[in-house]
């Protein structure tokens, strides 16, 4: 038996091995979380009332861009240098090739000549117009977006936002995580 070896050395090795295992597991978890939030999903926060009644100020959302192609009625987070460097959360009303028209007197939105059924999610009919001229056809690679609170939303009706290039879509809203009493998939 080695005279330099003591039972205390065995305990030290065991503690060090256990500590190393914990550090390794923690680092693996951190790397996985970083990869998930970089490539799969990320968090976004609602700032303002433009998506009421669907989303409210300070709601926290999980969004993803993984395998995503824009679809009508998706709620998305968009960004663009013209947007005051702030992400906007809006609903896709029309995708490339579709024609959008809005009757601001009646508050009705038309996509490809068909009245859009929006009673389930809009706050009130669309009476607020900006400087976009209608009818307008969405160019290739772009989407037309509006907030659900149509008369309190800065969106594609304003030429400053206009037709949004799909490359500026950060992701589609998957799930609302906060507040806890409203957790779930937004309609």
Domain co-membership, 19 together with 47: no
Domain co-membership, 157 together with 124: yes
Domain co-membership, 82 together with 2: no
Look up the domain containing 15 and give its range: 1-40
Domain co-membership, 30 together with 82: no
pLDDT in tens, 72-100: 999 999 987 656 667 889 999 999 999 99
Please say if 14 is a catalytic residue.
no
Query: Among the options 14, 69, 71, 90, which is catalytic?
Result: 90
Per-residue confidence (pLDDT) for residue 83, from 0 to 100: 61
Residues of the chain where predicted confidence (pLDDT) is lower than 70: 1-5, 81-85, 184
Note whether 99 and 137 are within 8 A (CB). yes
β-strands 75-78, 60-64 pairing: unpaired
Domain co-membership, 46 together with 9: no
Domain co-membership, 50 together with 89: yes
Note whether 72 and 95 are within 8 A (CB). yes
Domain co-membership, 178 together with 155: yes
Domain co-membership, 33 together with 66: no
Domain co-membership, 14 together with 74: no
**187 found inside a domain:** no
Per-residue confidence (pLDDT) for residue 4, from 0 to 100: 67
Structure tokens at 56: 């409210």
Query: Among the options 10, 14, 26, 50, which is catalytic?
Result: 50
Per-residue confidence (pLDDT) for residue 156, from 0 to 100: 92
Contacts 24+ apart (CB under 8 A), 159-162: 159/130, 159/131, 159/132, 160/82, 161/80, 161/82, 161/83, 161/88, 162/132
Domain count, the chain: 2
Please say if 159 is a catalytic residue.
no
């Amino acid at each position: 038996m080695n005279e330099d070896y003591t039972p205390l050395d065995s305990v030290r090795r065991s503690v060090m091995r256990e500590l190393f295992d914990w550090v390794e597991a923690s680092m693996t978890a951190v790397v996985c979380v970083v990869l998930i939030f970089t490539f799969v999903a990320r968090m976004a926060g609602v700032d303002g009332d433009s998506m009421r009644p669907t989303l409210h100020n300070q709601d926290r959302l999980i969004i993803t861009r993984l395998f995503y192609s824009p679809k009508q009625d998706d709620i998305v987070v968009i960004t663009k240098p013209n947007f005051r460097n702030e992400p906007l959360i809006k609903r896709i009303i029309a995708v490339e090739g579709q024609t959008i028209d809005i009757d601001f007197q009646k508050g009705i939105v038309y996509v490809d000549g068909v009245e859009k059924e929006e009673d389930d999610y809009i706050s009130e009919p669309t009476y607020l117009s900006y400087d976009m001229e209608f009818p307008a056809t969405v160019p290739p690679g772009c989407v037309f977006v509006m907030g659900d609170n149509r008369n309190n939303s800065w969106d594609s009706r304003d030429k400053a936002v206009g037709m949004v290039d799909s490359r500026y879509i950060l992701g589609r809203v998957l799930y609302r995580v906060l507040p806890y009493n409203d957790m779930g998939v937004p309609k």
